[in-house]
Amino acid sequence: MSKIPSVSSRAQRVPPSPIRKLVPFADKAIKEGAMVYRLNIGQPDIATPKQMIDAMRNFDLNIIAYGRSDGEPQLKREFSRYYQRNGIDIMEDQIIVTTGGSEAITFAMSACASPGEEILVFEPFYTNYNGFASLLGIELKPITTTIDDGFHLPPADKIRQAITDRTRAILICTPNNPTGVVLSTDELLTLTEIANDANIFIISDEVYREFCYGDTEHTSILQIYNSESNSILVDSISKRFSACGARIGCIASRNEEVLSAIIRMAQARLCPPVIEQIGTIAALRIPFEEYIGSMVSEFKARRDVLTNELKGIDGVVFREPEGAFYIQVKLPVENSEDFAVWMLTDYRSEHNETVMLAPGAGFYATEGLGLNEVRIAYVLNTDDIKRAINCLRDGLCLYKNRT
C-alpha cells in the first residue's frame, strides 16, 4: 500500500469561489422544479453582438494554428484604436492580448511581485484575486473600505501606512466589482503619488470601463499624469461585449520592462485562443452607440430598479453603485452564507421561485468582515430583478421569524 502525497501548501490555500460555491444547492433547487434567479454571478443576459458571432462563425482557416504570443496584430491594432477612442493613448506595441482578464491579472501580478511579496488591495474586492495570488504565492494585503464611505478610498495616510518593504503594487478595480465604486480622477492622482513615492506599481482592473452611471466619466489609470512608469492596465472584453466565455482580455502598459517580462510569460503559454480573437476584432469595430451604449443604458435602468426595490426592505444597507453591475449589500442577518444557502434549500415564493446570492465574506481578506453582506449582480432584466428582490424581501422576513 503506497502513501499518498499531499497537494502543495500553495494549492491548499487556493480558496473555492464564493461566487460558485453554492452551485450544488442551486442545481438541487432547479431539479426540484424551482425558478432560481441568479444574482450570484456577473453573467449578463444580453446577447453577444451579432457581428462578433458572425465573425467567429465565418472564420476561414484550414489549420487552427498557433497565433502570436502577444496576440494577433490586427486585434492589437483594434484594441489600440478602441483605447484611443476612449481617450487612452496606448499604441499597439504596448498591448498584449491575454486569455481573458483572468490571465491579464495573473501576468500583471507576476510581473510585479515574487513569492512572499505583497500587493495591496481595497476590500471588498473581486474574489478571484485571492485565487490568483494564492497560485502565485503573493500575499494580498487588504485595506478595508466601508459601506458608510460608499466604498471609496480611505485617506492617503491609511494607504501609505499599509506599505511595507515587501509591497510591490496596489491593485485597484474601477468601476468596481463588487462595490460599484468608480474611482475619481483625484483618487487616482492620490494613488499614483503614493505609488510613485513608494516606487511600486499600480495594477488597474478596468473591465467595466463603460459601465458608469453617474455624472463623472470613467478615468483610466493610463490617463493619469505621471503614471507612465508604473501603471499596468488589465482589461477584458467579457462584460462590454457580453462574451464572458470567449476568454479574451489584454494588458496595456507604458513600462517596457513590464511588457518585455509579460511577453516572455505569454510565450510560455504559446497564444490566446484564436477563434475568439477573430470575433473580438469584429466586436471592437462596432460603433459605441450601436452596442455598448445601449447596453449601459439598460444596466443603468436595472441599477435604478434594483436600488429602488432594495430601499423598501427593512434593515438592508447599501450605497447606490456608480458603475459596473454589482452591489455589496448589508443584510439584517447574522451570517449571509447561511441565509444564502437557506434561500436555495428552504425558501420558495408562491410561484416556486428563489434567488442565488454570493455570500459577502468571500470578497474580504480580513477574517470576520462581510459576514452579513452579500454581493448582488444585477444582470437580469428589470422584471426579473423585481421578482428576485421580492423573493429576497420575503425570504428575509421568513428567515427572521423561522423557528
Tell which positions 185-204 bind a second copy, by CB under 8 A: 196, 199-201
Choice between 188 and 316, CB closer to a second copy? 188
Choice between 73 and 315, CB closer to a second copy? 73
Residue 124 CA to its chain's centroid (Å): 12
Q: How many CB atoms lie within 10 A of CB 5?
A: 6
Pull the grid cell for residue 298. 439598460
Give the x/- contact pattern for a second copy in 207-236, rule: CB under 8 A.
-------------------x--xx------
384 binds a second copy (CB under 8 A): no
Bin 368: left if φ > 0, else alpha if -120 < ψ < 50, else beta.
left
Q: Stretches 29-37, 78-86, 250-258, 338-346: which one binds a second copy (CB under 8 A)?
A: 250-258
179 binds a second copy (CB under 8 A): no
Choice between 242 and 372, CB closer to a second copy? 242
150 binds a second copy (CB under 8 A): no
CB 307, CB 105: distance < 8 Å = no
Give the x/- contact pattern for a second copy in 121-140, rule: CB under 8 A.
-------x-xxx--xxx---
CB 202, CB 222: distance < 8 Å = no
44 binds a second copy (CB under 8 A): yes
Whole-angstrom Cα distance, residue 159 to residue 144? 10
Whole-angstrom Cα distance, residue 354 to residue 349? 6
116 binds a second copy (CB under 8 A): yes
Pull the grid cell for residue 41. 454571478
Among 85, 156, 160, 270, binds a second copy (CB under 8 A): 270
Whole-angstrom Cα distance, residue 389 to residue 333? 16
Residue 245 has what DSSP assignment? G
31 binds a second copy (CB under 8 A): no
56 binds a second copy (CB under 8 A): yes
257 binds a second copy (CB under 8 A): yes
365 binds a second copy (CB under 8 A): no
98 binds a second copy (CB under 8 A): no
Please name which of 271, 285, 266 lies closest in space to residue 80, comparing C-alpha atoms.
Answer: 285
Choice between 70 and 322, CB closer to a second copy? 70
Q: How many CB atoms lie within 10 A of CB 324?
A: 29
Whole-angstrom Cα distance, residue 253 to residue 228? 8
Pull the grid cell for residue 204. 488597474
Instruction: Give residues 153-172 in contact with a second copy (rule: CB under 8 A).
Output: 168
Please name which of 357, 256, 275 lies closest in space to residue 316, comparing C-alpha atoms.
Answer: 357
Choice between 294 and 352, CB closer to a second copy? 294
Helical H segments across 181-249, by residue range: 185-198
Please state the closest distance from residue 74 (CB atom) to a second copy, in A.
14
46 binds a second copy (CB under 8 A): yes
Instruction: Give residues 321-340 in contact with a second copy (rule: CB under 8 A).
Output: none
User: In 3-state terms, what secondary structure has residue 258?
Assistant: helix
Among 222, 234, 243, 376, binds a second copy (CB under 8 A): 243
Please state the closest distance from residue 312 (CB atom) to a second copy, in A.
31
CB 325, CB 303: distance < 8 Å = yes
